[in-house]
Structure 1
Amino acid sequence: MDVLKYEMPLLTGEVQSLADYKGKVVLIVNTASQCGFTPQFKGLEELYKEYEDQGLVILGFPCNQFGKQEPGDSGEIGAFCEKNYGVTFPVFEKIEVNGTAAAPLYQDLKKAAPGLMGTKNIKWNFTKFLLNRQGEVVERYAPTTKPEELEASIKELLSRD
């Protein structure tokens, strides 16, 4: 399943082809700026800075479906991420990850890597999907999984061609 076949708008409004990330190790995360897990932005940015030159990219997808914890518009989201966490990895426009209006990207991610007990729905903000250089989903991580806990898996995927 090719989950990187989509074009998605960045916070700037510029449309980004996710196919441009083929050949990289990709971590896709649904984010929110008013969530108990929001401090994970710091760890995500640290991973990105540490491994970007080796081929890691982190893609943030703000979502307001969980407790309305991402109420802002694109400008507010971008300013928050930059000011509070120095985020430099790509962050996209707000999307839905569950329900009939779920972004097709997330429909594919959930099919490729179901959650605990085979559930398809995203349970909360900061659910993470790790993709190998071929664009295949290799793992889904719960919101409680801290970014630093992914480092060994990321390093392993980066070491492969």
Structure 2
Amino acid sequence: MKKKYIAMTALTLWLGVSGWLASMVIVKPAVLFLGNNAEESTQAAQLRASINRNRQVLELVARLRPVTTPSAGESLIALPPATDAAPSLTDGSATGPDTFAGPVSVSMVLVTNGRSSAVVNGQPVRTGSRLDDGSRVLAIGRDWVRLRSADGQTSVLKVRNPVMSGDTL
């Protein structure tokens, strides 16, 4: 074979391979930039979309009204205001801290910001508080309150559960 035919065959072969590679790059542009890992572009797009979605959520959260926590002086539950015209639980002849008549009961126990409080006889109390009958709150548990009465006796009161005990309200 002559040199010009060999050169012409090599040129034709080179142009054919170049054209084939160019068609691959045009059809799949990710091959040019990412090599064999074509899935990386979709993952990057998903990541970009997730970041934008997170930014939008953060903007929406920033527009919400901030939640305030009650200060030490505020009550954690809604109670009716105490009035002097409220009916008395006793016959009215005795006055003072020992005039409470009726059993002591725990309505609920609340835990907010790591501090426990309870409602005993409709009165919100914390550890160390004194009840109307002179009893002092020694400790508050998950569903109980430990009291020391004015005469020094200690008792543990449990939160009444009408579902478990069968009581009706």
TM tier, smaller: under 0.3
Higher relative contact order (CA 8 A, sep 6+): 1
Which structure has the greater CA radius of gyration? 2
* TM-score of the superposed pair, with normalisation by structure 1: 0.20
